[in-house]
Amino acid sequence: MEVAINKDHVILTLDTTGSSLFKRGYRVEKGTAPLKENLAAALILLTNWHKDMPFWDPFCGSGTLPIEAALIGRNLAPGFNRDFAFEQFGFMDSQIIENERDRADDLADYDTPLEIHASDIDGSMIEIAKTNAREVGLTQDIQFKQVAIADFKTDLTGGVMVANPPYGERMSEQEQVHQLYRQMGKAFAPLTDWSKYIITSDLDFENTTVKKLLRNVNYIMEL
Ligand SMILES: C[S@@+](CC[C@H](N)C(=O)[O-])C[C@H]1O[C@@H](n2cnc3c(N)ncnc32)[C@H](O)[C@@H]1O
């Protein structure tokens, strides 16, 4: 609780949440440049993905996008794996909290088979992503694989790709990144019936040479 006193005004501020709301409680480890969990979920909801379609994040890092996709696919409440500060309030009826948690659990769909894939070139990131998925009980729902985008292949059809590839902030990294975009272009070319969404903070992604290198992408979200 915070108390602020200004002349004869006293303001009591009660934190009912605890750690920030974007935290779902499953991220025990993070890699470089992880997406916030709520942002990842919002981006997935902007795509045309539905739980009966394949989902693939080929740059999964700590696994935020595939884990959020699995939470959406399982219809699990985003906060079900975390605690909230108000749960410790003495005046809070713990039965109400328990009932709400039970209600959220009743709404979960554990039956629909999910086809969610997560890959990354870095084996240590795959281990981190698996640890995070285990934390939220979703290891069975996501298929993890260490694979470079240059070697990416799938026979699955009609899926949705949501990718958050690395981007070069320094000039020295630009050629490396453009080579990566060329590899993405080649890897994605056979996936003609897939929707592909790329998330990047590279503001030139759409306008520069990249556009020529990376054809066949449905949407580019610049953050
Ligand atoms: C911006 S991070 C993704 C972060 C992720 N969305 C998260 O929330 O943790 C980019 C990821 O791309 C991976 N990566 C870099 N080059 C790659 C390549 N050639 N093929 C596949 N993955 C690659 C990196 O290992 C890194 O985990």
Which residues are near ligand 1 (CB < 6 Å)?
Answer: 31, 33-35, 58-59, 61-62, 64-65, 120-122, 125, 148-149, 164-166, 180
Mean pLDDT estimate for the chain: 89
Q: Distance from the CA of 103 to the center of ligand 1, in angstroms?
A: 36
9-23 pLDDT, tens digit per residue, is 999 999 999 999 999
The model's pLDDT over 44-95, given as tens digits with 9 standing for 90+, comes to 999 999 999 999 999 999 999 999 999 999 999 999 889 999 999 999 999 9
Nearest-angstrom CA–CA distance, 72 and 103: 16
Region 22-41: mean pLDDT is: 88
For ligand 1, pick from 22, 24, 121, 181 the residue to mutate: most ligand atoms within 8 Å of CB.
121
Q: Is the pLDDT of residue 37 over 70?
A: yes
Which value, to the nearest 10 degrees, does the dihedral of the CA atoms of residues 55, 58, 59, 63 take? 40
**Hey, how many other C-beta atoms are within 10 angstroms of the C-beta on 207?**
10
Residue 208: the pLDDT is: 53
- The number of beta carbons lying within 10 Å of the beta carbon of residue 210 is 22
Burial of 71 (0-12, 13-18, 19+ CB in 10 A): buried
Q: Considering the chain, what percentage of its residues have pLDDT values greater than 90?
A: 68
Q: What is the pLDDT of residues 144-190, one digit of tens each?
A: 999 999 999 999 999 999 999 987 666 667 788 888 888 988 898 89
**C-alpha radius of gyration, the chain, whole number:** 20
Domains defined for the chain, CATH in brackets? 2-222 (3.40.50.150)
Task: Identify the pLDDT of residue 209.
Answer: 45
Gap between the Cα atoms of 96 and 119, Å rounded = 40
Atom of ligand 1 nearest to the CA of 180: 19
Reply yes or no on whether the pLDDT at 211 is more than 70: no
